[in-house]
Structure 1
């Protein structure tokens, strides 16, 4: 979760900058209602994102309700300290037939993580980590640098599990800052795993991670991408588009129990039930919605 300091810094920047022209390809979208069954199918991923906030029991997969909800999961790697490196875990889900990688979101008690959130600069991606990606594609430097801390060890473990479990599927999940790292992970793994690998990402309450070129690259490379936003959560509209940021496709906007909308295309304000229209600015948002409920599930350290 973002700290009050981070939200204030974002808000000041959001309302003080001059808007820029939104590329036409970001305006092509529509909304459709998501069925109750499809909303229910998000629950395992929501619980994996929730579990990342409960590191004390992760190594033995004994973290309370979040772990019980995915009881067959086999954790094989866990790390991070919640400060300089967000907690994360990797393992295999027999029921989903996929390797799972989950990253913790921001703990407001950890100042270093909060400073990561309020760093608004866009910068190039590391060509070693993201081969073939040009400097036209840029990402939030704080998120980029946080991702780099765990990229290699996660890639190594995913490759090992592909061999050990006989799978080619990996799913990246995360909430808030964890969602931003998962988004970067999805592109990183797509570029560094065998071409026939199946890459899926499901994120919750994720801020904008990169510029429009980054968003379009995600659209092209990670076709199984969902970003779930809850009601009036203001984090998904930050950092502001006038700073050059844009979301990729795949938004699912939750408006209440059993009520959600799939928003096609990228980032614009034309659809009445999509986040950027429901929350046009930070003053119309509600930070408590950042915690949930995501179809009855709350995410954060207090829900472990």
Structure 2
């Protein structure tokens, strides 16, 4: 994206924030709730799965990826895919200690993702009926995310089906950071539509906006326990801009500092000062460094796969 397009996108995001957020804050009362220390600690296994996804496929297959794998030492890897290039790495397996099938996607270079997601000409597309049966015509998703998801969707579905049968469990947790978080968000709807009997959860980190308001409403209504965690001044969760037709679903948890996080209500909460949009109203006030963490002491990205 050229400098002019970047500037136009940023200025549009700034105009949207200045005209809307302060007035809403005057109208609505503070409705956030504090996340307890025990609940924050309970996120750690999933954060480590997101960290592990950045590791090479050969060490994922043997579950020898250092601290990230050691933190979930009982994990049973069933399938590892992707090439780290055209197809983001991903893995599927069973965690006895969590009693769940885990589906995890790798993220990507945050500086590249920022550039892609601040473009003012981001195409939205309708998910295919083949992968998302019966989906409403009003639902639209970032076309790049949809295309990437489609590359692994059928393989993941087949492996999840097999594990549900062999392990006798129906709990599935989709996990991912950055682009991996966007793919995990899409997984929640994909798995709900294709495995209606499953109990589906999601833990995403530093996730950009994935689709339009109809998509957000679909995630909200899909009977999924969905949590999207954003860290301090991370700018990736505020792109693509809402003025481009994008909206987050509910489930935001905003980390304010070590041991300090809040649960933010509704879709894309812009009314509470401790939630992401008010904390990072424009990309100029955001931080790429915060995108990497720490998420309660855990950093995510290729350089942290040790």
TM-score between the two structures when normalised by the length of structure 2: 0.90
Would the aligned equivalents of 2:110 and 2:178 in 1 still touch at CA under 8 Å? no
- For 2:100, the equivalent position in structure 1 comes to 98
SS at match of 2:172: strand
The match for 1:150 is 152
- Counterpart contact for 1:186–1:222, Cα < 8 Å: no
Contact 1:202 1:226 (8 Å CA) reproduced: yes
5+ residue gaps, structure 1, are: none
Which residue number in structure 1 is paired with residue 292 of structure 2? 291
Query: Is this contact kept in 2: 1:6–1:114, CA < 8 A?
Result: no
Separation in 2, partners of 1:9, 1:159: 44
Offset of residue 14 of structure 1:
3.7
Give yes or no for contact 2:202–2:224 (8 Å, CA) kept in 1: no
Q: CA deviation at 1:12?
A: 4.3
1:107: Cα distance to partner?
A: 3.6
TM, length-normalised to structure 1: 0.90
Q: CA deviation at 1:15?
A: 2.2
Query: 2:9 is matched with which residue?
Result: 13
Is the CA contact (8 Å cut-off) linking 2:52 and 2:65 kept in structure 1?
Answer: yes
Point out the more displaced range, 57-66 or 215-224: 215-224
Secondary structure of the residue aligned to 1:70 is coil
Q: Contact between 1:92 and 1:99, CA under 8 Å: does it hold in 2? A: yes
**Alpha carbons of 1:8 and 1:73: their partners in 2 closer, same or farther (altered >3 Å)?**
farther
Compared with structure 1, are the counterparts of its residues 99 and 39 closer, same or farther at alpha carbon in structure 2 (3 Å cutoff)? Answer: same
Q: Residues 149 and 29 (structure 1 numbering): CA distance in 2 closer, same or farther, change over 3 Å? A: farther
Shift of 1:28: 10
Cα deviation 1:169-202 (Å, max 9, x = unaligned)? 1100000000000000110000001x32100010
CA distances 1:64-89 after superposition (whole Å, capped 9, x unpaired): 10000000000010011111000000
Give structure 2 stretches of 5+ with no counterpart: none
Structure 2 equivalent of residue 225 of structure 1: 226
C-alpha displacement of 1:30? 2.5
Q: State the aligned residue count.
A: 294
Say which is worse superposed, 231-240 or 49-58, in terms of deviation.
49-58
1:28–1:265 CA contact under 8 A, matched in 2: no
Cα-to-partner distance string for 1:252-272 (whole Å, 9 max, x where unaligned):
000111000001111132101
**Maintained 8 Å contact 2:114/2:236:** no
Match of 2:39, SS?
helix
CA positional deviation for 1:145? 0.6
Q: Match for residue 283 of structure 2?
A: 282
Query: What is the deviation of 1:135?
Result: 1.8
Change (3 A) 1:134 1:229: same
Is contact 1:251–1:264 with CA below 8 Å preserved after alignment?
yes
Task: Classify the secondary structure of the residue corresponding to 2:131.
Answer: coil
Q: How does 1:197-236 map to 2 (within 5 A)?
A: 197-236=198-237
Distance between the aligned counterparts of 2:129 and 2:151, measured in 1?
A: 15
Q: Does structure 1 residue 189 correspond to structure 2 residue 185?
A: no
The alignment partner of 2:293 has SS state of coil
How far the C-alpha of 1:217 sits from its partner, in A, is 0.4
Question: CA-atom RMSD, angstroms?
Answer: 2.5
